[in-house]
Amino acid sequence: MAIETSLILFKPDAVEGNIVGSVLSRYEAEGFNIRGIKMMQLDDPILTEHYSHVADEPFFPQIAAFMSRSPVIALALEGEDVISRVRNLLGPTNSKEADKGTIRGDYGTDMMTNVCHASDSPEAAAAELKRFFKNDEIFVS
């Protein structure tokens, strides 16, 4: 198993619903380590870059409005195969399809209000971590 670092974004529904601690404790219970964490307000440039794969779609303004309606919490999370393991803990992107016991199955409501974004590959994680963290904001053990 490879040691990886993934970007997790606690979305506005998680922050507003005061469930960040509950979800974070699930990650820690899996043995993952926090390497960086910060609260930030997302603006149009970072949202357009982060969602560049759908920025031209008609539903992008809804995503941007949702993701900027309150601060998010960016988390750099490290562990063995953290990328795939976190995605399994989260469940499917559409919370309506997520089983109870997964984070989205327990806390999410639909495709957009689904608690957290998580990197889906090592390449995406590297790019996303650079997007949300400066080099001196991620700490190694």
Which residues does 92 contact at the CB level (< 8 Å), separation at least 6? 98, 104
Q: Token pair for residue 21?
A: 């601690």
Q: How far apart are CA 76 and CA 38, in angstroms?
A: 9
Q: How far apart are CA 106 and CA 13, in angstroms?
A: 13
- Convert 82-111 to b/e letters by CB count within 10 Å (16 or more is b): bbebbbebbbbbebeebeeebbbbbbbeee
In this structure, the strands spanning 33-40 and 72-80 are antiparallel
Marked catalytic residue, from 5, 78, 117, 125: 117
53 is catalytic: no
- Which positions are annotated as active-site residues? 117
